[in-house]
Amino acid sequence: AQKVTQAQTEISVVEKEDVTLDCVYETRDTTYYLFWYKQPPSGELVFLIRRNSFDEQNEISGRYSWNFQKSTSSFNFTITASQVVDSAVYFCALSASTTSGTYKYIFGTGTRLKVLA
């Protein structure tokens, strides 16, 4: 099976707290990519990061960091010192091969993050 699980439906934190959004995936592919997207209240989908299956280095971009662990099939996203503007729905996604020889993207159900002032 190829799937992405985001078990946290909704998380509420107070501003300046750190928060981690979990993403667990299943794939039969040996080469694959994982992605995070942000959907703010305005509704558009914004790409945040990609990670390939051969690169397990953590990535940091400002207050955002990502931890990819192949051993646990997880690609977690941490926001440090959260801000109200971080309030959004966050989606984790996986590029997956298809039986017809092409590929598709599989999304998790999303985690709604509410950052309270």
Partner 1 sequence: NAGVTQTPKFQVLKTGQSMTLQCAQDMNHEYMSWYRQDPGMGLRLIHYSVGAGITDQGEVPNGYNVSRSTTEDFPLRLLSAAPSQTSVYFCASSYGFPEAVYNEQFFGPGTRLTVL
Q: Provide the binding-site residues for partner 1, judged by CB under 8 A.
A: 6, 9, 31-33, 35, 37, 43-45, 47, 50, 52, 91, 93, 95, 98, 100, 102-110
Residue number with CB closer to partner 1 (16 or 104) = 104
Residue number with CB closer to partner 1 (87 or 110) = 110
The C-alpha atoms of residue 42 and residue 58 are separated, in whole angstroms, by 29
Q: How far is the CB of 15 from partner 1 (least distance, A)?
A: 26
Residue number with CB closer to partner 1 (14 or 47) = 47
Q: How far is the CB of 77 from partner 1 (least distance, A)?
A: 15
DSSP per position, 5-73? E----EEEEETT--EEE--EEE-S-SS-EEEEEEE-TT---EEEEEEETT----EEETTEEEEEEGGGT
Helix (H, G, I), strand (E, B) or coil at 85: helix
Q: How far is the CB of 5 from partner 1 (least distance, A)?
A: 10
